[in-house]
Amino acid sequence: MSDSAHFKKSLTAFDLTLIGFGTVFGSGWLFAASNVASMAGPAGIFSWVIAAVAVLSLGVVYCELGAAIPSPGGAISYLEISHGPMVTYLIGLMTAIYMSSIVGLEVVAARQYAAAWWPALNIPGTSNSSTLGWFLQLALILVFFALNFFSVRTFALANNIVTVIKFVVPATIIVTLLVFFKPANFHVAGFAPAGFAGVEAAVSKGGVIFAFLGLTPIVAVASEVRNPQRSIPIALVSSILLAGLLYILLQVAFIGAVPTSMVSKGWHAVSQSLSLPFYDIAMLLGAVWLSVIVAIDAVISPSGCGNIFFGATPRAIFAWSNSGTFFRTFSKVDEKSGIPRRATWLTLALSIFWTLPFPSWEAMISVVSAALVVSYAVAPVSVAALRKSHPEMARPFRVKALGFVGPLSFVVATLIVYWTGWKNLSWLLGVQVVLYVIYLAAMKRASVGHLTFGQQIRSSLWLVGYYLLTMLASYLGPFDGIGLIAHPFDTLFVCLLALGIYYWGLHTGAPRGDCRFASEGDNSSSRARSQDREVASTFPV
């Protein structure tokens, strides 16, 4: 029996929805509005629409996986079943890196905003952390550690309180800024000064897709949810829809409230003039009371998001370890608390590492965004492969028209990764390819679980091919590449590439005999609720 059996089912659908919404409202909305406006002008509103549609399509796919296989670690556990250990190894590593880095990014964001009223937190004249600022970041991370180390209910209660605050403040900002709304701002410097390319760049580099981070924590704690077959779909869809609506309204309110004289010659300088967008615009408009509220919430919001990811990261590490492709010591769960405490200690170390002197929030966001979208993008391939290999598996939530939704969500996710640009993808995906080669050399011809070495390679080559071909498209395209394939032909090329990879991954899943977890003729809710234990013990390494 796997240690996942010791996870305690303590979370309700309401808890899970607030986890999703609380994750989305981290630091993304606090910084992205001015970045988006600078890159795309008023047309940046559509960047939020694109991201919402993309994440919602992926979220619907996650609903099927999360409801059928409520296993700790989310996508890592699904891939272990659908495509075997090599794919789990690559995505597990990327997931652990981006999830732990988000904890660090969120406390950095909280410190940057707090420096607006406590300047000693920054090095004078910069947004870099002073010694005092770094110790404040460390203190926040230690609070997250304490909240997550003892009980999942402690974590959930703290998150529920913080999320209520995080909803009220953005709503207050929207209503207040609409009072200063200036319709002229939507045409004085052109509605889309950079064309659709500006909208594309805003999605990946402006912090838009980074803002929609609510999927992974929801599915990562799936084995600790009461009635996951009902709770997971409700939480995924409702948190994305509500967050998307608020993001769009925040962007509209920000664009309309900026003084027209500031943008009469273009939007490109807005991100420098209003680097803390909602705090700075409130001060500029004379709404000092609003700036105080924003400054306070700008510490609470990222902290709440950081706390959620601090709770989700140990579950991802647990799933990665439980697959046999990472140190097995991290697949232990404390029987009394139901917490993977060894993985929690590792999360603490990784989170602190990401607060060391790295580039600013804006500089790191593109890489983190690309990493998270890659980890999301594999879900449609996993669903399709499991549909093909295990049609009899109990699916309490079943995606309709998967033949359309699956390829569409994978294509959209691939475009978002591609828009991140060659400078980011060349090393992010390049490192993954190198690590794949290292894995092959280390494992040699070993069998893992029920998979032979040859089966592992066959079921993982599609992902390596995805990395290599995406890098090639990025190098040849106009996003930091050599521009050999001009826009919009590069978009068509990437779409065709993604479709080919999707069907490659669909047809090269793990052999059917390797996944003995499907219910055979028994679709009862009790059977579905027990699948998380069966799934986690599928690969006894």
pLDDT digits (tens, 9 = 90+) for 507-541: 988 776 544 444 433 333 333 333 333 333 332 22
CA dihedral 382, 387, 391, 397 (to 10 degrees): 80
- 403 pLDDT more than 60: yes
Closest CA to 404 of 383, 418, 376: 383
| In the chain, % of residues over pLDDT 70 | 82
CA dihedral 339, 67, 321, 416 (to 10 degrees): -110
- Confidence (pLDDT) at 220: 62
Judge contact between 174 and 256, C-beta under 8 A.
Answer: no
The domain ranges of the chain are 11-352+361-536
∠ Cα 39 43 45 (to 5°):
100
Beta bridge partners, 225, equal 11
| In the chain, % of residues over pLDDT 90 | 18
Query: Among all chains, which residue has been given the structure tokens 């940057």?
Result: 112
- 203 pLDDT more than 80: yes
∠ Cα 523 529 535 (to 5°):
95
Mean pLDDT, range 287-299, rounded to an integer: 86
Mean pLDDT, range 16-23, rounded to an integer: 75
Least confident of 265-274, 324-333, 404-413, 513-522: 513-522
- Whole-angstrom distance, CA of residue 533 vs CA of residue 152: 18
**pTM for the predicted model, two decimal places:** 0.74
* Strand blocks (E) in 166-292: none
Evaluate whether the domain defined by 11-352+361-536 bears CATH number 1.10.3720.10. no
Q: Residue 341: exposed, middle, or buried by beta-carbon count in 10 A (0-12, 13-18, 19+)?
A: middle
- Confidence (pLDDT) at 531: 36
CB atoms near residue 215 (< 10 Å): 28
- Whole-angstrom distance, CA of residue 390 vs CA of residue 394: 9
Quote the mean pLDDT of the chain: 79
Judge contact between 346 and 339, C-beta under 8 A.
Answer: no
- Whole-angstrom distance, CA of residue 42 vs CA of residue 252: 8
- 213 pLDDT more than 70: no
- Whole-angstrom distance, CA of residue 170 vs CA of residue 293: 10
**pLDDT tens string 255-280:** 999 999 888 888 988 888 888 889 89
**pLDDT tens string 219-257:** 666 666 677 667 777 887 888 888 889 899 999 999 999
- 152 pLDDT more than 70: no
